[in-house]
Structure 1
């Protein structure tokens, strides 16, 4: 019995020592300029790569169907290029960005790409909603104005909070909570219309052309986007209600590396890969293919 107690006590002390050592290592990373610089430049490189992929895909689509103008597919890839490009610039010039005064302007610059990310991917929800209602012969004219109104409302509220109330901790918490709620509704939108469109496609005949590919696209993109927005929602809410928790990029480079990878970089890369298929070429009105 005595030997067992001594062994248990030793294990506890050893575990405590390992915890203290890990905590010291974590604090050294937080205070290390090299780790911060490496993390932010890694994020810059990752965002640059995703932005470049979106641009290449946009150019390919434009070369394939230049006569169609700015379709939803083209706008989606353009917005991906802009969002990821902005994030790449912010992390590439992080020292200059973090030294911007007043502080409210810095907060606006840091949050603006996140709002654009929200608009980019809710554009997919709008696209699916239009397809779903048109397939059911239901009116869809109000969907596009609703998209612009909702996004405009979110932008105005966030900008107002950051410009007027960001000087206090309560104001920043209110902004993070509002973004958390917005992310939750974005996930709900993907779940609602992605799920509806998925089950609508499942009712098509099995031999329908492209049915399986569309099922895969809608199901995969819905799962990815719903998950990433729910993660964003949960982490932002946790940063508000959790004590001693902060997602500020100035203080936690490793946490933010994981955060941005989970909620933006990896989901964007996966969605761009899944939606990489080019639209079919337009058949000339004068010449028809031989059947």
Structure 2
């Protein structure tokens, strides 16, 4: 058992903060995964949509933070040697990378909207609108649904989203290199493990700060574009974009400042030295709760709307027969094409 008495394995104030932060992240991860299952149950035929990917990344990031806070307490009380060398650094850095990737993905979608091509140059769709309409009317078997759900080929990855994947892989590789250097630096050699960890944390803090500035800039551009559209949907999306941009700037700036000017991200390497409990606790709340938990929760709140329920093929077929049986109605492929094209543009133009 872990001894929680004063002066034991971990300071009592920091113990309480770690438990509170772990509880918050566990709740956010649970909500994200639960909402992911609800979204998937309503549109299994769509595979991995943007909304599902965001919920998966936010849930995985907060689950990683939960494990980090719990393992930090256990490692300090049990005296894990590996934790102070490089294991603690990896567990600390991995959820932060997932968090960065989620907001980089959001930035890539905003950049796509700000640099959207003309209507005639529809580079996202490989098929014509009429083909998309006919594709929606085809029956989907359970095997096809499972194949789309489990296969990532259903995800449409644009050029900017590929850049996000590449940047995430490079940051992950940098983290592994830093972890190896920290492990080597524990021996008798010129490498200083604390300096390596500090350099990584500072570089990551600068990247997070630049990400917040980029979200603010492109959010402002989106607001100017959306202000020209007169509709209830545009007004709702404007509030979402403004909220995400504002929360990103405030939260990312505060977390980057704490990371650069303090040693809060490096508390996994705690060896019983004297720590100002109240000040350290406040800085931990500012770095982890304000810097990560609040933006994650805000993204989940913005994306809380469920997609429309799946219409079965039988209902679609009955509607089609009733439409054809009406002698006064004439089939106009041009209208079908225009309607499908407008619906496609609206779904693609959504900033969230």
Q: Deviations over 1:233-252 (max 9, x none)?
A: 2222223xxxxx65533453
- 8 Å Cα contact 1:64-1:281 kept in structure 2: yes
Structure 2 spans left out of the alignment, 5+ residues:
1-5, 125-157, 186-191, 324-352
- 8 Å Cα contact 1:108-1:162 kept in structure 2: yes
For residues 247 and 180 of structure 2, the distance between their equivalents in structure 1, rounded to whole angstroms, comes to 33
Q: Within the alignment, does 1:71 sit opposite 2:71 as a pair?
A: no
Q: Which residue of 2 aligns with 1:280?
A: 308
For residues 260 and 105 of structure 2, the distance between their equivalents in structure 1, rounded to whole angstroms, comes to 24
For residues 109 and 201 of structure 1, the distance between their equivalents in structure 2, rounded to whole angstroms, comes to 40
Q: Which residue of 2 aligns with 1:47?
A: 25
Q: Deviations over 1:176-201 (max 9, x none)?
A: 11111211221133123322222221
For residues 178 and 199 of structure 2, the distance between their equivalents in structure 1, rounded to whole angstroms, comes to 8
Given the superposition, is the C-alpha separation of residues 132 and 281 from structure 1 closer, same or farther in structure 2, using an over 3 Å criterion? farther
> Comparing 102-111 with 89-98, which one deviates more in the overlay?
89-98
Shift of 1:152: 1.5
Q: Which residue of 1 aligns with 2:204?
A: 179
For residues 7 and 290 of structure 2, the distance between their equivalents in structure 1, rounded to whole angstroms, comes to 20
Q: Which residue of 2 aligns with 1:248?
A: 266
TM-score, normalised on structure 1?
0.77
Q: Which residue of 2 aligns with 1:156?
A: 173
For residues 195 and 47 of structure 2, the distance between their equivalents in structure 1, rounded to whole angstroms, comes to 45
- 8 Å Cα contact 2:86-2:180 kept in structure 1: yes
For residues 97 and 194 of structure 1, the distance between their equivalents in structure 2, rounded to whole angstroms, comes to 42
Of 101, 105, 125 in structure 1, the residue corresponding to residue 82 of structure 2 is: 101
Given the superposition, is the C-alpha separation of residues 42 and 72 from structure 1 closer, same or farther in structure 2, using an over 3 Å criterion? same
- 8 Å Cα contact 1:129-1:193 kept in structure 2: yes
- 8 Å Cα contact 1:217-1:275 kept in structure 2: no
Shift of 1:112: 0.9
Q: Which residue of 2 aligns with 1:12?
A: none
Q: Which residue of 2 aligns with 1:118?
A: 100
Q: Deviations over 1:163-214 (max 9, x none)?
A: 215732321221111111211221133123322222221121x1x2411111
For residues 29 and 36 of structure 1, the distance between their equivalents in structure 2, rounded to whole angstroms, comes to 12
For residues 127 and 194 of structure 1, the distance between their equivalents in structure 2, rounded to whole angstroms, comes to 11
CA RMSD of aligned residues (A): 2.8
Q: Deviations over 1:67-120 (max 9, x none)?
A: 111011101001111111121122123233452516122211111111111112
Q: Deviations over 1:116-156 (max 9, x none)?
A: 11112212112222333336567674212211111212222
Structure-to-structure mapping, 1:208-219, within 5 angstroms: 208-219=231-242
Given the superposition, is the C-alpha separation of residues 77 and 100 from structure 1 closer, same or farther in structure 2, using an over 3 Å criterion? farther
Given the superposition, is the C-alpha separation of residues 85 and 264 from structure 1 closer, same or farther in structure 2, using an over 3 Å criterion? same
